[in-house]
Amino acid sequence: MSLLRNAHIQTLDTATALAREMELLEQVSHDPSRRFLWLWQGTHALVVPRKLAVHPDFGATAAALTAKGWPVHTRATGGDATPQGPGILNVTHVYALPADQSFQIDTEYDRICTPIEAALGTGATRGWQPGAFCDGAHNVQFETKKFAGTAMRFRPSRADRARVTVMAHALMLLEPPPADTIAAINDLLARLGQGRVIVPEAHTGLPPTLTPQSFVTRLVAAFEALPLSPPPTLILPS
């Protein structure tokens, strides 16, 4: 499913996108008056957190998966192995909390999950989904199957240590992941001795009532409606 004709979406190499997320975090950390919302699609790849990248067999595993057409990249947030490529839409939301507001992880996950739930509409819920890749309490589900996974990174702002800068990310499945994607994730997990198996039926895509374009429109509006200041700067393709 292509989003190339949607003016809100940037498509770029997955490794470049991961680096760009960290650049946005750094920008807001140095200037807490800024807030960014970025929608993007990455190239065909697997992405793993640092906890998997330090495994002694990671180098050989990454080489083997790359040879099969699945380059492996490392991200700075937590979680588990995830795919990138066609049929997947990412949203990155970067902002600083007000100086009088303490960081509460559930509150910040609400800020990334609630707009996605609002954009999906009736049938959206949140919680664990056994058998899904990168399973967690902050999955967004649609009709009991995983639609989105979320992760975040946060740090004291470099410009004002009393404020916390947050980079929240969600991976959304516009289409259910195909069999070769599930097989690649399971191959990586098995090679790293992770002892869990991902199953296709734990996942879903957009509801049939939404097109990618209508979903993106609703999603952007939902993020803009969050009670955060300033309004987000929407990063558009150059």
User: Under DSSP, is residue 212 helix (H, G, I), strand (E, B) or coil?
Assistant: helix
With 80 as the cut, is the pLDDT of residue 1 above it?
Answer: no
**173, β-bridge pairs:** 88
With 60 as the cut, is the pLDDT of residue 10 above it?
Answer: yes
Comparing CA positions, the residue from 47, 43, 38 lying closest to residue 12 is 43
Report the pLDDT value the prediction gives residue 113, as an integer from 0 to 100.
Answer: 98
Report the pLDDT value the prediction gives residue 24, as an integer from 0 to 100.
Answer: 98
Report the pLDDT value the prediction gives residue 11, as an integer from 0 to 100.
Answer: 94
With 60 as the cut, is the pLDDT of residue 3 above it?
Answer: no
* Average pLDDT value for residue range 199-209: 97
Give the containing element (helix H, strand E) for 27: helix 14-30
Band of residue 30 on the pLDDT scale cut at 50, 70, 90 = very high
Residue pair 184/83 in contact (Cβ under 8 Å)? The answer is yes
Tens of pLDDT, residue by residue over 116-128, are: 999 999 999 999 9
Which domains can be identified in the chain, with CATH numbers? Answer: 9-230 (3.30.930.10)
Report the pLDDT value the prediction gives residue 233, as an integer from 0 to 100.
Answer: 96
Report the pLDDT value the prediction gives residue 7, as an integer from 0 to 100.
Answer: 66
Rounded to 5 degrees, φ, ψ at 193 are 65, 40
Residue pair 142/159 in contact (Cβ under 8 Å)? The answer is no
Report the pLDDT value the prediction gives residue 237, as an integer from 0 to 100.
Answer: 86
Q: What is the amino acid identity at position 140?
A: V
Tens of pLDDT, residue by residue over 129-183, are: 999 999 999 999 999 999 999 999 999 999 999 999 999 999 999 999 999 999 9
Band of residue 5 on the pLDDT scale cut at 50, 70, 90 = low
**b/e code 11-24 from CB counts within 10 Å (16+ = b):** eeebbebbebbeeb
Tell me the pTM. Answer: 0.95
Tens of pLDDT, residue by residue over 34-86, are: 999 999 999 999 999 999 999 999 999 999 999 999 999 999 998 899 999 99
The Cα–Cα gap between 238 and 236 comes to 6
**b/e code 54-65 from CB counts within 10 Å (16+ = b):** eeeebeebbeeb
Mention every residue, 6+ apart, whose C-beta is less than 8 A from residue 88.
41, 42, 171, 172, 173, 174
State both tokens at 38. Answer: 């970025």
